Amino acid sequence: MARVFISYRRSDSKWMAGRLYDRLSEVLGRDNLFFDISNIEPGEDFVARIGEIVGSCDVLLAVIGPGWVDVRDRAGRRRLENARDLVRTEIHAALQRNIRVIPLLVDGASMPEESEVPEDLAPLLRRNAHDVSFAKFHTDLDSFIRVLQRILAVPEPASRTVSPTPPPSVAARTAEPVATTLPFSISLETAGGVASTLIPKGVRLPAEASEVFTTAADNQTAVEVNLALGERPMIKDNVAVGKFQLADIPPAARGVPQIAVTARVDTALILTVTAVDQATGHKQILDAVDLTRIDVPRQIVNEPLKVAESTRDSPNDLSAFFERLFGKGWRAPDPAPAPGRLDLTLTPAEAAAGVTKEVAIAGRTMQLRFPAGIKEGQALRVQGEGPPDKDGRRGDLYVYVRVKN
């Protein structure tokens, strides 16, 4: 029988509930989690059945996103005002049975006000909540898992006829550190199948890297993010990690959309990659990939870092690596633009507010959108607009920002 019930609204926090379920499954086992009412048989009284399931659990996790209190039905009425609302029924059943109810606040949500919830959910507002952010999902959840394991290991009151110790499948399996440095580079496929390093081999863990991409074609409405492990220059020669697609990008001239790709890897070698369309906020995730479970051939692990090293910087310094790769404010401008590089000057006001610039590239004109807050030395990567390689495949163009009055 499940010991932890996950209550959530699909329209408010489905992404979080799915990630939470996957992560807790690794620690507690799937048999100890109740995630969805889909296994309630047709014809059953769902209120009675939910009450029975919740009553057999030790903990209910109430996942609360920013729109949790204001989700509405087709008639425009708040779902929480409907006594038959599933989320209300689940939480009310847990509160009635006095089991542990833990609000999980996600995406910056805060606890509702008393005026925003029905009377039967008022006790929820007195329960101590735990925050889980998108950016720090694994860090936030690791600390919560330790608390949850302690709760499940505590003997229940005498009035509850349950075992005082958790079953073997609930034994602690926390994400222990397995590495202090990254044993291989994490790369992203760019034009021509080139493996472009996001996080290089040898950096200290945990590590995070972000890069802004734009589109290579007019009215391009989707980009594919394809990742691999290894030091080889072509993505096909490295070890595949996974791929996903960010779709529904509003049609625009090439170079205008801004797609921010962020990779994070922790000391347990858990990788999370997100792609966000900065105009719409639409995002997709390659989530919680356990790199220790990927078979990386020893010859790939032993290959040297594919990016030329500088004698003044250590490969363990991630910030120094990106300074060498992309340029920062401290670095003097190149005496002449290198192939695949274009320098463009913005005023301080343009850099602060963001601006669209018309840029001439290889005899053609295209528009590039520079996001608000871009800094001196940062670069936009324009896929497929750089110089061709020896096989005629076009590389990427890096447009570096200079900020001057």
Is residue 100 pLDDT above 80, yes or no? yes
pLDDT above 70 covers a percentage of the chain that reads: 78
Domains and CATH numbers, the chain: 4-170 (3.40.50.10140), 186-314 (2.60.34.10)
Other C-beta atoms lying within 10 Å of the C-beta of residue 249: 20
Is residue 281 pLDDT above 60, yes or no? yes
Rg of the chain, C-alpha, whole Å: 25
pLDDT confidence band for 39 (50 / 70 / 90) = low
Choose from 96-110, 207-221, 389-403 the range with maximum mean pLDDT.
Answer: 96-110
Looking at per-residue pLDDT, the higher value among 295 and 340 belongs to 295
Locate 49 and state its tokens: 């059945």
pLDDT confidence band for 321 (50 / 70 / 90) = very low
Each residue's pLDDT tens digit, 232-263: 888 889 998 888 788 888 998 887 888 888 88
pLDDT at 103 (0 to 100): 92
CA torsion through residues 166, 154, 39, 41, sign: positive
Is residue 131 pLDDT above 80, yes or no? yes
User: Which range has the worst mean pLDDT, 97-101, 227-231, 399-403?
Assistant: 399-403
Q: pTM higher than 0.75, yes or no?
A: no
Is residue 330 pLDDT above 50, yes or no? no
Contact 313, 372 (CB under 8 A): no
Tally of residues, the chain: 405
Query: Taking residues 175-193, what's their average pLDDT?
Result: 78
Is residue 337 pLDDT above 50, yes or no? no
One-letter amino acid at 400 equals Y
Of 99, 110, 159, nearest in space to 133 by CA: 110
